[in-house]
Structure 1
Amino acid sequence: MSPLRIVPLTEELLGEAALLAAGRVRAERRHVPHLPARYENFGELLPLIRRAYSRAPGVAAIDGDRLVGFMTTNLVHGLRGPFRGAYVGEWGHAVAGDIAGERRQYIYRRMYELLGEKWVRNGCFAHAVTIFAHDQDAVNAWFWSHFGMACVDAVRGVEPIGATVHDDKDFYIRQATLSDLDSVATLKELHSRYMAESPIFMPAVDLSGLRERVEKWMSQESHFVYLAFRGDKPIAYMQWEPSYKNASFIITDPKTASVTGAFTLEEHRGGGVGSALLDEVLRAARARGFERCSVDFESHNIYGSRFWLRYFQPICYSVFRQVDERIAWAPHDRRPEHIW
């Protein structure tokens, strides 16, 4: 086995890198056939890799004269807080598919070793990577590199799930209109406050102007909200739209519908309300010609993650690490005369 070399990514290697990335999509589609097939074509991924390469550093793993891995960088301002961060999308890294086990993990960890140093030296202390859910060696590599789970992307077909509501007395679902704006905004505020509770701890910093943002979102022709009622009381909502652009890139497709928000009042959970809403969303998506439905959710949302995993297959995990910012003034090469 040749010594592994980790070197800066170069223009000449971008085509090979895109081939490696497309191979990882192909491997994931064997587990999750609902993924769009188009991203098995390296030409769909090459422009993304080229753009990332032109903006920030990347690395390549070379074994002999063969490219066996690569990793790019996307600079993100405000990544999980007021931090300058570095992010690697699921299309922006790969290790060759014929390399498995400890060797595969080692290549990933070595690439991060070099690229992570560049990130920290440029003030990026928040690090995030999206990895394919069924690449267990990659999952292990990032876990052993001090990363933890943050977000899950998942997908399913649009076939019915056969939901039933345990107590359907006075229960019904209908599509919301702008006349329901106050009801939708109230549920979304409660949703934000729920996400700020333990153990999720997502700060509810976006409540001012919420009603106006909801109105703007609902006013778009391709955006849909469904409300669940008991009597005349709205008790839950679920919203969807075509291909959500802030989720994993590999689900982006004209035939993808994306659930981008859902919440049920606590006293109405566990009775099939959320499932009934999802069934209605899937029915509406089918009627409009969509072939798959995606969702992204926080892994640390206990109740939300249990619900989504009941109906959806994970395709990507996003993992996160916050580096101790004191490394900026206490690096490995700090000299004694610099200590005061």
Structure 2
Amino acid sequence: MIIRDFEPKHAEEATEIALGAYNHERAFTQELPEISSIPMMKYLSENGFGVAAFEGEKMVGFLCSVEPFENAFRSTDARGVFSPMGANGTVKENHGKIYAAMYQAAAKKWVKAGAVSHAICLYEHDEEAKQQLFRYGFGMRCLDAIRPMEAIDCATCNGYEFLELPKEDYASVYPLNLALNEHYCSTPFFVNRKANTQEEFLDFTRRENVRYFAAKTGGELCAYMEVSEEGETLAASGEIYRHITGAYCIPEHRGKGVYQNLLNYVINTLKTEGYTRLGVDFESINPAGSGFWLKYFHAYTNSLVRRIDERIIQRISLI
């Protein structure tokens, strides 16, 4: 096996491999839409951070990433890189060994660029690749999941009102958004993201064109769900798709079916508007959240993360 720098001339073969990997996952997660291209492939082939594996003249795999960025996961001081869905893949034979060789070569580039947080998005059912990266010090952090726009089976809960908030009421979500940030800091989550001011929060809602659905009791907001037009994967977009980008329920209202009923309200509303698929991304290190989402959605990606020893940067000339 030969590992080479990923170049524009490799894009066509890489696209074929990426689509093959995606269609393999579709056999397990049938809600995933059909796709025929990888729009980011041109960018990936030109940024200099990818590698390709060859057996003779045949490409057997590729591993690319976006350019290194600061404040990985918006909650650390680390510079990170991320290989998103569609930016990596291999042929089926010697799957794990190919990923091992490609990561060894790509990681060298990433570390030379100062990136100590390495994230690679793999498919939920690609156990061989996941096990190989686990052996290289990766752990799971995030998942993407999807479901048909069909109501879930749950009992109704009395004493609660479910509604979509008008834009003039978005400020009422802000205290719950702050509570969500506090929840992120708790064990075993330990994610300390910078809290927005109310003005920044409202500016985000306008800029991203999000919608807020909520549960109320006694006239007070007790839970909300933020819905956007798209998520962060190739599958998380399109005219028939919507994505959950934020969610929180005040602790004393949990376990009463409030969030299940809020989810159904969102599903029924979006279904009447013609949407057929609903997606969500979430952290596996959030036990309450991941337990809920995995009960009602089908996971199709796992993002694996490795945080290398930062002091290796001091010896970068020896790599």
Counterparts in 2 of 1:1-340, with a 5 A limit? Answer: 4-38=1-35, 41=36, 44-45=37-38, 47-78=39-70, 79-80=72-73, 81-97=76-92, 99=93, 103-165=94-156, 167-168=157-158, 170-207=159-196, 209=197, 211-219=198-206, 223-244=210-231, 247-330=232-315, 333=318
Contact map agreement 2:6 2:48 (CA 8 A) in 1: no
Deviation of the 1:9 alpha carbon? 2.0
User: Could you list the runs of 5+ residues in structure 2 that have no partner in the other structure?
Assistant: none
TM-score, with structure 2 as normaliser: 0.93
Cα–Cα, structure 1 residues 175 and 8, in superposed 2: closer, same or farther, change >3 Å?
same
Deviation of the 1:179 alpha carbon? 4.2
1: distance between equivalents of 2:314 and 2:210?
Answer: 48
Deviation of the 1:61 alpha carbon? 1.0
Q: Which amino acid aligns with 2:283?
A: E
Contact map agreement 1:160 1:279 (CA 8 A) in 2: yes
Q: Which amino acid aligns with 1:104?
A: H
> Residues 179-211 of structure 1: CA distance to partner in whole angstroms, max 9, x if unpaired?
43342111111111111111111114223x2x2
Cα–Cα, structure 1 residues 277 and 76, in superposed 2: closer, same or farther, change >3 Å?
farther
Q: Which amino acid aligns with 2:215?
A: A
2: distance between equivalents of 1:129 and 1:187?
Answer: 31
2: distance between equivalents of 1:213 and 1:13?
Answer: 42
> Residues 258-313 of structure 1: CA distance to partner in whole angstroms, max 9, x if unpaired?
01111111111111111111101111111111110000001011100000001000
**Structure possessing the higher radius of gyration over alpha carbons:** 1
TM-score, with structure 1 as normaliser: 0.88
Deviation of the 1:64 alpha carbon? 2.7
> Residues 221-254 of structure 1: CA distance to partner in whole angstroms, max 9, x if unpaired?
953211111222221111212113xx22332222
Which is worse superposed, 81-90 or 282-291?
81-90
Q: Which amino acid aligns with 2:46?
A: S
Q: Which amino acid aligns with 2:78?
A: F
2: distance between equivalents of 1:9 and 1:204?
Answer: 34
Query: SS state of the match for residue 227, structure 2?
Result: strand
Deviation of the 1:128 alpha carbon? 0.7
Cα–Cα, structure 1 residues 308 and 196, in superposed 2: closer, same or farther, change >3 Å?
same
2: distance between equivalents of 1:265 and 1:218?
Answer: 21
Query: SS state of the match for residue 263, structure 2?
Result: helix
1: distance between equivalents of 2:160 and 2:65?
Answer: 49
1: distance between equivalents of 2:224 and 2:49?
Answer: 42
Query: SS state of the match for residue 329, structure 1?
Result: helix
Deviation of the 1:96 alpha carbon? 0.8
Among all aligned residue pairs of Structure 1 and Structure 2, give the percentage whose two residues are the same amino acid.
28
| RMSD (Å) for aligned C-alpha atoms | 1.9
Deviation of the 1:220 alpha carbon? 6.8
1: distance between equivalents of 2:65 and 2:167?
Answer: 41
